[in-house]
Amino acid sequence: MSAGPVASGGVPSVSRVVSLVPSLTEAVAVTAPGLLVGATDYCTHPSALDVARVGGTKYPRVPDILDLRPDLVLANAEENLEEDLEALRAAGLDVRVTAPGTVAAALAELRTMLVDWLGLDEPAWLREAAAAWTGPEPVWATAVVPVWRRPWIVLGRDTFAGDVLRHLGVRNAYAGHADRYPRPALLELRACGADLVVLPDEPYEFTATDGPEEFPGTAFALVSGRHLTWYGPSLVAARSLLPVQLTASPLPAGGAQR
């Protein structure tokens, strides 16, 4: 399928977009309301978004996407399965894939998506996010960052969320691991030398009673998974929200100083 007629400046005119990535869905919906015609069941922002739903990020319903006749499908190398993206390409759809591993890469890819792929003006929220996420703060904590349990899965090397924390002065204890998402045993996690456990509420919903109890004597922080892992308009609020959440939990008896 063609990307559509060409607008002034040589940018393809895109009028129908399907997004398979929650953060990109929010970015497009906030910047150009009405451009989206389809999104996944997990695209929860903006809360009033009213578009066709095409299934999950891992198992989207390819026939439903084809029925929407999109000019462009937005995807992510980490969230979406290559077999689904290849099926969409084989049907003639233009599929564009993002893969930011750092805050700087996320900001650059967002601008490419909005300006180069969609032909939009750079939005104010993106300029605000770029101004907010400048150089990293001094390291004040070393953290282990679980994103799942049963089995335990943590942030490893080259992840966007890990770079978000780096900007906020939190060093990831597993940043040098060979895997991007290591699966260490719990005893290894407890002994890795971290003085902070960062527990997001997605993809696994850690809570005050589900997660911290496994790390006795170690300070923990319950944080917004959306603000830690999404790259889009949420980056603006994340810069001020996450530092508060990272230092909000009380220090357990015998824990490290923060």
The predicted-structure confidence for 40-90, as pLDDT tens digits, reads as follows: 999 999 999 999 999 999 999 999 999 999 999 999 999 999 999 999 999
pTM: 0.90
From 126, 133, 115, select the one nearest 232 (Cα to Cα): 126
Contacts of 64 (CB under 8 A, 6+ apart): 38, 52, 54, 55
The CATH number that domain 8-124 falls under is 3.40.50.1980
Q: With a cut of 60, say whether residue 235 has pLDDT above it.
A: yes
CATH 3.40.50.1980 domain extents, the chain: 8-124, 141-246
Q: With a cut of 50, say whether residue 255 has pLDDT above it.
A: no
* The CATH number fitting domain 141-246, selected from 2.40.37.10, 1.10.3720.10, 3.60.150.10, 3.40.50.1980: 3.40.50.1980
pLDDT value for 6: 36
pLDDT one-digit tens code per residue, 87-111:
999 999 999 999 999 999 999 999 9
pLDDT band at 250 (very low <50, low <70, confident <90, very high): low
Tell me the C-alpha distance between 174 and 88, whole Å: 35
What average pLDDT score do residues 26-32 get?
A: 97
Tell me the C-alpha distance between 127 and 134, whole Å: 12
Q: Which two tokens stand for residue 247?
A: 């230092």
From 91, 81, 95, 133, select the one nearest 17 (Cα to Cα): 95
pLDDT band at 248 (very low <50, low <70, confident <90, very high): confident
More confident residue, 249 or 108: 108
Tell me the C-alpha distance between 222 and 242, whole Å: 10
Residue 40: Cβ-neighbour burial (10 angstroms; 0-12, 13-18, 19+): buried
Tell me the C-alpha distance between 141 and 256, whole Å: 9
Q: Which residue has the tokens 């994340």?
A: 238
Q: With a cut of 70, say whether residue 19 has pLDDT above it.
A: yes
Average pLDDT, the chain: 92
pLDDT value for 199: 97
pLDDT value for 82: 96
